[in-house]
Structure 1
């Protein structure tokens, strides 16, 4: 088997591409809100992806987290089709230094928000990984979506 690529140094993410889904979206940095939960990307710009600034940048060791909306009041958003991405497909994160980190999808899971497994999703794995997260499940006007779609991927190349 091919040895894993060497991790990249820190560099701000600029865009996210998922060719299998036709996604090529700009990235904005996100922090944590007052409840220590990840902020969400701006709802008035549904085609932007949020990247957790407190975690690894693309290709760095650790578990990086990217989030995006599934839809908004005005229609589909950047990750509308995320749940349909297949194992083995690629996700490319471009960086401010001109390099890219290429991740390969390992699996896609849907978790109920009430029992969301933080450790499984965000925990360290010993290699550069990426989680791409959006809403899933049933939608209620007052409560929003009941679940989250989580794509698990690991670094397989750098450019």
Structure 2
């Protein structure tokens, strides 16, 4: 992994939390994945075989039916510090993909990020931590194909323990990472970590 990818988790972890600060209550914190959804709990009993990777093509829309996500996609670059940028905070229903990396459905590890909330309330990936192994993620691509992924695990990491290689490392098949803020929450500094959903390509429509 190149040094340019170091610190991505910190960049995503910095996303807002303003809504929680305004509410001043832990009752509105987003769902966190249970231990049963982690890799350590074992593989998904219904995991489908990996599909052959597709040629690169930009993603235009992402859907996660189980948590009612249906979002357009925008491209993301890196900040001046070399960290992954985030989508505009004022659009609650917008996810971004790392344009200098793998496109979803192509061979390698595609990275998608989005906010958990903004000043007005829950945002696109507020419920990401509620996903379970075997849930599906669908990505519409500019070439007219839809890449279908199954979730292999959903894990949460504190900033200081973010596993860069595990999340961003290269893969020999078409894989997907969907990332948002999570972990503990501080009224002073916001979210202390990230929720990451890991998936792999199982089909194409």
Query: Could you tell me how far 1:73 is from its partner in structure 2?
Result: 1.1
**Aligned to 2:66, what secondary structure does the other structure show?**
helix
Runs of 4+ in structure 1 over 4 Å off = none
Query: Could you tell me how far 1:97 is from its partner in structure 2?
Result: 1.2
The 3 A distance-change label for structure 1 pair 55 and 81 is: same
Gaps of 5+ in 2: 1-46
Counterpart for residue 132 of structure 1: 178
Q: What number of residue pairs does the alignment pair up? A: 159
**Aligned to 1:33, what secondary structure does the other structure show?**
coil
Counterpart for residue 4 of structure 1: 50
Matches of 1:116 and 1:24 in 2, distance apart?
27
Query: Could you tell me how far 1:2 is from its partner in structure 2?
Result: 6.8
- Of residues 82, 103, 123 in structure 2, which corresponds to 1:57? 103
TM-score, normalised relative to structure 2? 0.75
Gaps of 5+ in 1: none
- Of residues 94, 106, 129 in structure 1, which corresponds to 2:152? 106
Instruction: Say whether the 8 Å CA contact 1:58–1:100 is kept in structure 2.
Output: no
Larger Rg: 2
Higher strand share: 1
Q: What is the CA RMSD across the aligned residues, in angstroms? A: 1.4
Higher helix share: 2
